[in-house]
Structure 1
Amino acid sequence: MVPSALLLGGLRAAMAPSALRFQRALRRPEAAQQECLARVLRAVAGSQQAARIPGFERIVRAREFQEAVPVSTPDSVVADVERIAVGEPRVLTGAPVVRFEPSGGSSGASKKVPVTRELLGEFHQALAPMLFEMLSRRPAVRAGPSYWSISPMGRKQGRTPGGIPVGSVEDSAYFPRFLQPLLARVFAVPGAVAQLPDVESCRYVTLWFLVACEDLAFISVWNPSFLTLLMDALEVHGERLVEDLERGTCRPPGRELDEEVRAVLSRLRFSPQPERARMLRQSLKEGLSGLALWPRLALLSMWTDAQAAHAVGPARRRFEGVEIQGKGLLATEGVVTLPMFDAPAPVLAVRSHFFEFVDPERPEAFPRLAHELERGREYVVLLSTSGGLLRYRLGDLVRVEGFVGATPCLRFMGRADAVSDLVGEKLAATRVTAVLDAALPEAFGGTRPRFAMLAPEWEAPPAYRLFLETDAPDDRLTEAADAIDRALREGFHYRYARELGQLGPVRAVRVREGARSYEARCIALGQRAGDIKPTDLHRQPGWTAHFTSGDTP
């Protein structure tokens, strides 16, 4: 077998030209962004979308683009996406859509983001310099295999009525095609593991390969709680894994006889690993430690900003002594920032897409461009890509922490729109309202309770609480919470977070004088009484303690 160090050295060399172009672009972001805009316009030319934009063929400069093209949202592109899904060509772009990726929308359940080869090329413009810098600045990462959690665990693949695939199959799918075979050879966990039909079996098989990999050097996950839950599962199933490693078998708990699970396992190789079994048994006795199991582990990559910061501590405790690098802001729709070790915050992916930045204090003004941002100010991101999304409002709020060259470094501050996002569930207020309006009257005899509100709580795991003011018996409240949880699980991101165990179920909490108590806390949080509006979804945690403290009016 070719050593990982040799393969990763070759990968680093392959990334070098793109990394050099990125470094040059950091000094001239205005020129780099003009090139991105020209590429986006070429991708959209000849499409139905272009035909709807007056004077599209005459657009060249950013201001012309802003004047001619309206801001779009996940909901505003639904009709076009559905036409693509049934097989209609040249809707948003001239090029065909090669697959859809599921993503959360602001009001419905799941949305589908169209992916073209041109859009994948824009992802490469960011991922290549990011990977090059990591391999160059942290050479220990080149010493062994890596675990990349890119494809969601337990997610089944599908196709639209027009035959377009939904979801990527391999973790390397966002990298250039010529590099994918090389990447597959340095992944500690085979990509086929993602084809397992449920989260628990996928997690167990993932752990088998990770524990078997003595020289694991790098772990990349998204939310830190994903990694914590993985280690929790290792603790729960540790003895079973010891036996499987000794024998060269793999028996996901409760799924040994499942035909779909067995079909995936039959395509994987499990050979006896007695030394690693001994190491795991010893580690279980002494308390699981990441460095004890993987002494060459050099770097963890995960979200560290906004809501994800709450989950960094537990992950850090599992991997004491291992460096953590925060991820940039990467959405299903595109790459906004990428991490750099010496930068004050992740740097704008200035060669990937065309970006605009809305000033929340002046939303009516023309959005600013990348070279016009000011240090210390916050902005909402608009994204235009070669996948056909034009002036697309991501809903992400970023703050300018500094610059590399002349390009801004942006820290993710959270969602700018009315979305609660503890662990990636992206729960929108409009979605919550629709669910409560449908479920509560059915549960409570045709009417909604006097007070009803959903809000998050940072528990173990984080979860949402349904606060209700009603005289109905307790079992009715429980039934209502269960119904709402089921309805919310129709959304891709909420369901995924629940299946992974990153998010607990909705639980009902009975409240007294809900409206007055709600007002009292809103005032305590700094709102003026005249500005307080009732809400079905409040994104601030801590409501359980407030409503049950006994000190409320």
Structure 2
Amino acid sequence: MNARWAYIQLQSLIVKRMMANNARSREIQQRVLQKKIQICADSRFGRDHGLRSIRSVADFRRQIPITDFEYLRPYMDEVRNGNPRAMFGPQTRLLMFAMTSGTTEKPKLIPVTDDFVKSYKRGWKIWGLKAHIDHMDLARKDYVHLAGDWQESRTESGVWCGSISGLAAETRPPVVRRPFIVPPQVGKIGDWTSRQYTTLRLSLPSRRVGMIITANPLTLISLAKLADQHKETLLRDLRDGTITMPADGNISLNPSLKKRIRPVNKRRCDELEQIVERTGHLLPRDFWPELSLVGVWMGGSVGAFVPDVRKLYGSCAFRDHGLSASEGRMTIPMQDESNAGLLDYTSNFYEFIPVAEFGNDDPTILEAHELEEGQSYYILLTNSGGLFRYNIHDVVECVGFEGQTPLLTFLHKGVHCSNMTGEKLTEYQVATAVREAFVDSNRSVETVMLVPVMASVPRYMLLIESQADQGVERLAEAIDTRLSNLNCEYENRLKTKRLLPIMPKTIPTGTWRRLRDKKIADRGGTQEQYKHTFLGSSDAILGELGVGPIASGR
């Protein structure tokens, strides 16, 4: 404890420095921008866009348009195929690609460079240090971090692709690594249920777990329910020093994990059995009585599940995970029970577009210090992975300032995108999947809508006017298959049971016509200008259409 607390006290100077520098974050943002430009200045992208000539933010905006991944894809494809110089200068090391879904049929591979990882880790270090400063008891407790696998696949040129959280976990320094009792190798277990069972098997021996960290609250709900569902097997495994995977098929652990599967001391086993005898359940609120802090997303649509997490994990504090994505960390929450985070102004360069002007030919572009409290914005991100003025389609609200640095809360993904569990489904993907599924089913394409439905396990509802047609079940399955092919994160959420399969729902003939007429009457325009959306923005449309609720299971 003394060594760990001494390390925390020494490193906490980073937090104090950041808080002191909030008053001059505009100046620091200028330096960050110049560094990002230097990283790519001697690349093909840099030459094509005249990066060497950029001296100011105004120059930057003249030289580079607002981008999306399709704009950058020609350069990124070259990097993926073994030519990092297409995007980066000779001093930059490419470590891996972070995998995420794209806005077209092709997934995105975000380059992760040495400077990218340095920035990513620094943001997490500040988050963790501030959490320890506010919860000093954490210095004597264990932690559970649910990280992904950074080595899921390789590109044609041999570079690993996966989750940056896995790389960060594997490369923690020893003094930081010791309290984390679930090793990063667990993230490499392909079967989701087996991965979560292994997490429980390795963390249940400790009653001194003080902090658990993962992005999505649905992951924590799933972990708690799995513990309760398999309580008898878990208790037997703990006593016998075994591990009995609940998934179908044989899941073999790598040797380093097998060494950790040992019998647990009798006192702890007795304690867990007494919990089950007393409560009839095996839940985190009881088996981790010293839990102090849960780090998880608290904003956006998934924030609706935080109350369920509280019921399962007890009366500990909650701290938002922060606005982060494969493209980079954007905010660092600095206090409990709030989904507001301080803009991570040392890691990336940020620009903002007011929501009301998004989509205009010449929208107002603001720097971070120019935001207004109470207003909502789209973020443009410039990072160390080759993303310049990148529209990440995240909408945030400015809820205050620390000096020149805004405090932001995540509201939702932007237009034409749905993101209940991290699947980041786009209008383009849905329209493509629907069209192809109709063709696969030998049906004429008709108007449908996929609507996100938040429930204990979310899913999408397929609204279709076809009446008394048993083929709609097969059509829904075909759309699921096509969406899985188009969007790797949607496929992952289905496989890991964080999303249920699409539920078809027939609606009265003429529904779409009435919806069209109403929208034209409300918004103006003509019949020819009206465009039906294949992806509903929220389940509020169900009430508008008079569609009743659906069952939580299939």
Q: TM-score, normalised by structure 1?
A: 0.91
2:136 paired residue number: 139
Distance, in Å, in 2 between the alignment partners of 1:386 and 1:217 is 33
Equivalent in 398, 401, 404 of residue 403 of structure 1 = 401
Most deviating of 333-342 and 110-119: 333-342
Most deviating of 406-415 and 505-514: 505-514
Alignment RMSD (CA, Å): 2.5
Structure 1: stretches of 5+ with no match in the other structure: none
Distance, in Å, in 1 between the alignment partners of 2:84 and 2:42 is 11
Distance, in Å, in 2 between the alignment partners of 1:521 and 1:93 is 50
1:166 paired residue number: 161
Using CA pairs below 8 Å that are at least 6 residues apart, which structure has the higher relative contact order? 1
Which secondary structure state, in structure 2, belongs to the residue aligned with residue 291 of structure 1? helix
1:270 paired residue number: 262
Distance, in Å, in 2 between the alignment partners of 1:251 and 1:169 is 29
Deviation for aligned residue 1:187: 0.6
Most deviating of 44-53 and 531-540: 531-540
The reply on whether 1:493 has 2:489 as its aligned counterpart is yes
Q: Is the 8 A contact 1:426 1:494 kept in 2?
A: yes
Q: Is the 8 A contact 1:235 1:284 kept in 2?
A: no
Distance, in Å, in 2 between the alignment partners of 1:452 and 1:344 is 35
2:108 paired residue number: 111
Deviation for aligned residue 1:367: 1.2
Distance, in Å, in 1 between the alignment partners of 2:223 and 2:44 is 45
Q: Is the 8 A contact 2:98 2:161 kept in 1?
A: yes
1:442 paired residue number: 440
CA distances 1:433-457 after superposition (whole Å, capped 9, x unpaired): 01111111331x34113x3111111
2:419 paired residue number: 421
The reply on whether 1:460 has 2:451 as its aligned counterpart is no
Cα distance 1:346–1:301, how it changes in 2: closer, same or farther (>3 A)?
Answer: same
Which secondary structure state, in structure 1, belongs to the residue aligned with residue 68 of structure 2? coil
AA in 2 matched with 1:132: L
CA distances 1:331-359 after superposition (whole Å, capped 9, x unpaired): 11111110011888211001111111112
Which secondary structure state, in structure 2, belongs to the residue aligned with residue 346 of structure 1? strand
1:180-219 equivalent positions in 2, closer than 5 A: 180-219=173-212
Q: Could you tell me the percent identity over the aligned residues?
A: 24
The reply on whether 1:355 has 2:353 as its aligned counterpart is no
Which secondary structure state, in structure 1, belongs to the residue aligned with residue 87 of structure 2? coil
Cα distance 1:264–1:485, how it changes in 2: closer, same or farther (>3 A)?
Answer: farther
Q: Is the 8 A contact 1:66 1:366 kept in 2?
A: no
Distance, in Å, in 2 between the alignment partners of 1:357 and 1:43 is 23
AA in 1 matched with 2:212: I
Deviation for aligned residue 1:547: 4.7
AA in 1 matched with 2:275: S
Q: Is the 8 A contact 2:228 2:282 kept in 1?
A: yes
Cα distance 1:261–1:433, how it changes in 2: closer, same or farther (>3 A)?
Answer: same
CA distances 1:33-83 after superposition (whole Å, capped 9, x unpaired): 0110111111112111101013x2121211111111111112222222221
Deviation for aligned residue 1:517: 5.1
2:75 paired residue number: 80
Q: Is the 8 A contact 2:113 2:385 kept in 1?
A: yes
Distance, in Å, in 2 between the alignment partners of 1:403 and 1:344 is 14
Cα distance 1:143–1:264, how it changes in 2: closer, same or farther (>3 A)?
Answer: closer
Q: Is the 8 A contact 1:156 1:197 kept in 2?
A: no
1:279-298 equivalent positions in 2, closer than 5 A: 279-285=271-277, 286=279, 287-298=281-292
Deviation for aligned residue 1:128: 2.3
Q: Is the 8 A contact 1:283 1:293 kept in 2?
A: yes
Cα distance 1:252–1:214, how it changes in 2: closer, same or farther (>3 A)?
Answer: same
AA in 2 matched with 1:340: M
Equivalent in 309, 312, 335 of residue 315 of structure 1 = 309
Distance, in Å, in 2 between the alignment partners of 1:90 and 1:44 is 8
Equivalent in 96, 99, 102 of residue 99 of structure 1 = 96
Deviation for aligned residue 1:281: 2.5
Cα distance 1:549–1:463, how it changes in 2: closer, same or farther (>3 A)?
Answer: closer
Which secondary structure state, in structure 1, belongs to the residue aligned with residue 86 of structure 2? coil
1:251 paired residue number: 244
Count of paired positions: 536
CA distances 1:6-57 after superposition (whole Å, capped 9, x unpaired): 4532441453343233123211111110110111111112111101013x21
Q: Is the 8 A contact 1:12 1:131 kept in 2?
A: no
Deviation for aligned residue 1:86: 1.4
Q: Is the 8 A contact 1:359 1:380 kept in 2?
A: yes
Q: Is the 8 A contact 2:191 2:247 kept in 1?
A: no
Most deviating of 508-517 and 342-351: 342-351
Equivalent in 26, 30, 38 of residue 30 of structure 1 = 26
Distance, in Å, in 2 between the alignment partners of 1:67 and 1:30 is 20
AA in 1 matched with 2:507: V
Q: Is the 8 A contact 1:121 1:176 kept in 2?
A: no
The reply on whether 1:338 has 2:338 as its aligned counterpart is no
1:20 paired residue number: 16
Which secondary structure state, in structure 2, belongs to the residue aligned with residue 250 of structure 1? coil
1:412 paired residue number: 410
Distance, in Å, in 2 between the alignment partners of 1:265 and 1:7 is 26
Which secondary structure state, in structure 2, belongs to the residue aligned with residue 76 of structure 1? helix
Deviation for aligned residue 1:267: 4.8
Which secondary structure state, in structure 2, belongs to the residue aligned with residue 217 of structure 1? strand
Distance, in Å, in 1 between the alignment partners of 2:66 and 2:203 is 44
Cα distance 1:362–1:452, how it changes in 2: closer, same or farther (>3 A)?
Answer: closer
Distance, in Å, in 1 between the alignment partners of 2:422 and 2:548 is 30
AA in 1 matched with 2:321: K
Deviation for aligned residue 1:214: 1.2
2:383 paired residue number: 385
AA in 1 matched with 2:506: R
Deviation for aligned residue 1:472: 6.3
Deviation for aligned residue 1:327: 2.2
Q: Is the 8 A contact 1:299 1:325 kept in 2?
A: yes
CA distances 1:348-395 after superposition (whole Å, capped 9, x unpaired): 001111111112223423410111111111111011112211111111
CA distances 1:209-252 after superposition (whole Å, capped 9, x unpaired): 12111110001111111101110111111100000001111111
Q: Is the 8 A contact 1:18 1:125 kept in 2?
A: no
Q: Is the 8 A contact 1:238 1:281 kept in 2?
A: no
Q: TM-score, normalised by structure 2?
A: 0.90
